[in-house]
Structure 1
Amino acid sequence: MSDTESATATAVLDPDTTDATIDPDTRADVDHVDEADLPAIEARYMRPEELVIAENVRKSFRIEDHPDQVASIKERGVKDPINATREADGSVHADDGQVRILIARHLGTPRVPVFITDAPVGLSDNERRIERTLDQINFNQRRIPLTKADYAGGITLMLDLGASVTRVAKGLQAKRDDVKNHAKIGASPTATALLETDQLKLLQQAECAALGIPWTDDRLIAVDEAGVPIRPEYYSDMFQRLRQRAGLRRIPLKGLRNTSVSLMLKLGIPVHIVAAWHGHDPALSLGVYSDTTRGLARGGRCPVRMIC
């Protein structure tokens, strides 16, 4: 390691904390903490079933409501240590990490990492419960999630370091295409900035980054490869070309909606499901398309605006 690399590593691992905004009296208190006053911590791996889940502010938790957390622990195990207290009888009570423990038990995870301190002496039960509740709320409310830009940058870094898209996708429980799109964004400072401000959707940002095209708020989204606005008739014209190539008779593009609704009703799909798929009220489905459906059931000819 070079001197420059050594200095950089030291700066990262031991950052300069001489912030002029910190009150000098407060800094003096921090700098003179006696380590003998700090509780001893034992680090060990334990079976999730060995841990007693102490009283917890989180009262409602269903494992099935958190598939991402389950998938993460299934793939990677529990990495964040459980904070626990050893009681006078020797039992170990988890003060933080209830969710990780319950998911680990559900998955049959053999071991989880645990940081254990001895129960404090001289505190009443009520005082201990107050302190535990303060810790639990702070643990859960003060966690800072990664920004979208940080997430994209992390994916880009792993791929640059030689990880495959498949490995990253599996490790993050993400789709391969999402990993590829995030990597394109992470490699572009412009796209990364746009991602952070939610000005573009992920796919649009990925395409912008891949093509090296700058983005401004006054640009149109519906444009062709040359940046020319697309005419509203473009989609209808394209549909007619595809219809003719397939040998089907002419109907307007909107006729596909009529076709879809009518055929779904003919297949016996419940009307409320058909209506939900097409974004309208069930009464409209029956009122507009019921005659068509009855005609089809009798073997009648398809209406002009349908493909049959």
Structure 2
Amino acid sequence: MTHNTTTETVTATGELRHLNPADLVIDTNIRTEAEATLTAEFVDSIRDGVRQPILAVEVDGEVRVRDGQRRTLAARKNALPTVPVYVVPVATDADDKALTVDRIVEQLASFEREGLRNRDRVAAIEQLALAGMSATKIAKATRTKKKDVDATLALAKSDTTLDLIERGAALTLEQSATVAAYDHDPEAQQWLLDG
């Protein structure tokens, strides 16, 4: 893999590199529809270059995009020779679960300012739980109330409720979790929704 580094600024926490976007690995992302949100206007806005650095980590010689998936894709579509990438070091002893937790927490924080589909947020919280984090630790890491994390984890198990949220149903997180609890009883779910 070629790293076309044209400039470098080293700081205590990371380094700014100018890398070929084709060489970047787009890491798994909690936003599942990045490609679909890549509008012609967005691609055109990147035509003259990426102004906000892409956030990445370097693992086993690969520079993995953590925040900036759409900017990377747009830069590739525009055949830009380099993009600014802020590469943050990862602990050399970090295992896959630790890397996954760090990635999800970073992406959740990043998407708070841009907006994230509800289904993607629920899936991200569920992934943190599957990576071994307790609801209390998830709440702390994501700056969310523990009761909201508990409700999110309950609702993550219900495709019916996830579909309702995605279609814009005006349900609170607690109401969604209640509806999810009745996945085994569609009539009760409908009664809850109609009431």
Give TM-score scaled by structure 1 length.
0.32
Task: Determine which structure has greater relative contact order: mean sequence separation of CA pairs < 8 Å that are 6+ residues apart, divided by chain length.
Answer: 2
Give TM-score scaled by structure 2 length.
0.48
Structure that is richer in strand per residue:
2
Structure that is richer in helix per residue:
1
